[in-house]
């Protein structure tokens, strides 16, 4: 992907809101990952690119990686950050979401929201003139998927040809990864119990994207289907706020990622997890702490991928500083 094409793709993101990976096209994803790699290689070159810009963070759920990576990341680029804790007062409880958003847009340049209901993000987007970024909802976790895409290409796995395997609950992270693979043209095998498959409506939408790109999305209950996968991904079985989950945990037990499961994928398969991990449930220590694990690369990349996204949405990518480097060449060589 030529440098001029990357700039064109990034400029097309100006002022947009990103609530799902499906809000992006293939060229935009590749350009964002190239920019993320550039940032990771040298933040000094991007110092003060977001000076005088303000980020407001609205969080209904607790967080480690998401909060710290957005706060420190935006500050590294010279911007200021305000965090509003909504764990005890859902957005829209004190005043309508529309009024809330119309106030915030007068003071800040971008809103990052971590919410229980995706509809809250949609309401913010429909009532704000500034970009809204989904930092996690019940339907999607696009920033995590972008960071994961960066981790894969850094490890020499091309998104256009990768085979990504998912084991566990067909949750929001799973759906966002399905969107990423469907757009980029790769292959994804999703292994879940019959009762915990990904949302049927969203799966149908994702398969329509896959039909356009030539991607393959397979849903199955058979762990042997992950044979030959480039990466094996799992997540916590119980999402924040879920209760009475004994049946769910029991149904997922056979999908715990163990050395035996990784053996099915093969010796070169990477292990991935968005964290936090419930060790002994969805994954055992021997895997998450083992040589195939790239979970902390994923975690680190949250900051870089998110910063790339915010720079693009705020039209703040400095032309002179976004130059080819070794990290971008890694991305280019995985086509």
How many other CB atoms sit within 10 Å of the CB of residue 155? 15
Question: Nearest-CA neighbor of 127 among 105, 110, 107, 112?
Answer: 105
DSSP H or E stretch at residue 9: helix 3-11
Q: Give the DSSP letter of residue 56.
A: E
CB within 8 Å of 291: residues ≥ 6 apart:
none
DSSP H helix total and E strand total for the chain: 13, 9
Catalytic-residue membership of 30: no
Among 148, 169, 230, 235, the one annotated catalytic: 235
Catalytic-residue membership of 285: no
Q: What does the DSSP assignment read for 245-273?
A: -HHHHHHHGGG-B-HHHHHHH-TT-EEEE
Among 30, 53, 86, 144, the one annotated catalytic: 144
Among 30, 141, 163, 273, the one annotated catalytic: 141
Task: State the Cα–Cα distance between residues 89 and 130, nearest whole angstrom.
Answer: 23
- Do 117 and 62 meet the contact criterion of CB atoms below 8 Å apart? no
Catalytic-residue membership of 297: no
Catalytic-residue membership of 144: yes
Among 53, 302, 304, 306, the one annotated catalytic: 302
Question: Nearest-CA neighbor of 281 among 247, 238, 244?
Answer: 238
- Do 57 and 134 meet the contact criterion of CB atoms below 8 Å apart? no
Among 143, 274, 292, 304, the one annotated catalytic: 274
Catalytic-residue membership of 16: no
Catalytic-residue membership of 118: no
Among 114, 187, 196, 273, the one annotated catalytic: 114
Q: Which residues are catalytic?
A: 114, 141, 144, 235, 274, 302
């Amino acid at each position: 992907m030529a440098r001029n094409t990357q700039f064109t793709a990034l400029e097309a993101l100006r002022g947009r809101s990103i609530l799902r990976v499906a809000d992006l096209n293939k060229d935009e994803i590749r350009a964002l990952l190239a920019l993320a790699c550039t940032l990771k290689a040298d933040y000094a070159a991007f110092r003060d690119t977001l000076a005088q810009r303000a980020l407001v963070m609205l969080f209904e759920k607790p967080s480690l990686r998401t909060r710290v990576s957005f706060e420190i990341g935006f500050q590294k680029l010279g911007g200021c950050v305000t965090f509003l804790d909504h764990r005890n007062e859902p957005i829209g409880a004190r005043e309508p979401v529309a009024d809330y958003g119309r106030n915030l847009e007068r003071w800040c340049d971008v809103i990052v929201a971590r919410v229980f209901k995706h509809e809250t993000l949609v309401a913010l987007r429909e009532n704000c003139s500034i970009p809204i970024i989904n930092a996690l909802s019940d339907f999607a976790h696009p920033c995590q998927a972008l960071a994961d895409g960066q981790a894969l290409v850094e490890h020499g796995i091309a998104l256009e040809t990768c085979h990504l395997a998912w084991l566990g609950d067909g949750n929001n992270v799973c759906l966002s990864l399905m969107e990423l693979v469907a757009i980029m043209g790769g292959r994804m095998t999703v292994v879940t119990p019959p009762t915990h498959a990904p949302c049927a409506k969203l799966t149908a939408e994702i398969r329509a994207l896959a039909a356009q790109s030539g991607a393959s999305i397979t849903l199955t209950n058979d762990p042997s289907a992950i044979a030959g996968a480039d990466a094996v991904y799992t997540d916590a079985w119980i999402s924040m706020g879920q209760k009475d989950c004994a049946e769910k945990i029991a149904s997922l037990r056979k999908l715990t990622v163990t050395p035996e499961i990784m053996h099915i994928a093969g010796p070169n398969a990477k292990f991935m997890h968005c964290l936090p991990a419930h060790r002994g449930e969805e994954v055992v220590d021997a895997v998450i702490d083992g040589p195939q694990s790239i979970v902390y690369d994923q975690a680190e990349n949250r900051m870089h991928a998110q910063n790339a996204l915010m720079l693009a949405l705020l039209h703040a990518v400095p032309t002179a500083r976004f130059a080819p480097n070794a990290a971008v060449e890694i991305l280019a060589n995985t086509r």
